Amino acid sequence: EAQVTQNPRYLITVTGKKLTVTCSQNMNHEYMSWYRQDPGLGLRQIYYSMNVEVTDKGDVPEGYKVSRKEKRNFPLILESPSPNQTSLYFCASSYRGSYGYTFGSGTRLTVV
């Protein structure tokens, strides 16, 4: 089944403890993206990747890092999480960029 898989689905962590949210797609898509979703603010892009080793900042990149060493994986790294990063995170992939994203099921992150 064609899909975008994120792990974990739920995560509670403490301020300052580094964490990684994994994202993997099995559709051989070149484009991958991370979004966060907050009430009243909709979905906002964090980082974007056009291909292996090619990444770029989105609208809200502060406090996040990404890497794209393989085509199928696009992990989101929070080096020192803070409570304002408590949110619902979505990974998405596409063969044609923003013209056709498939989204994962989301990761609910709580930073205390």
State yes or no: residue 10 binds another protein (CB under 8 A).
no
SS3 label, residue 100:
coil
CB of 14 to another protein, least distance (A): 22
Residues 65-104 that bind another protein (CB under 8 A): 88, 90, 92, 96-104
How many residues of this chain bind another protein (CB under 8 A)?
Answer: 31
CB of 46 to another protein, least distance (A): 12
Q: Are 30 and 51 in contact (CB under 8 A)?
A: yes
State yes or no: residue 62 binds another protein (CB under 8 A).
no
- How is 5-46 classified by DSSP, letter by letter? EEE-SEEEE-TT--EEEEEEESS--SEEEEEEEETTTEEEEE
SS3 label, residue 85:
helix
Single residue of 33, 55, 85, 93 touching another protein by CB under 8 A: 33
Which residues, in sequence order, are CB contacts of 72 under 8 Å at separation 6+? 24, 25, 26, 28
Which residues in this chain contact another protein in the complex, by CB under 8 A? 4, 31, 33, 37-45, 48, 50, 56, 58, 88, 90, 92, 96-106, 108
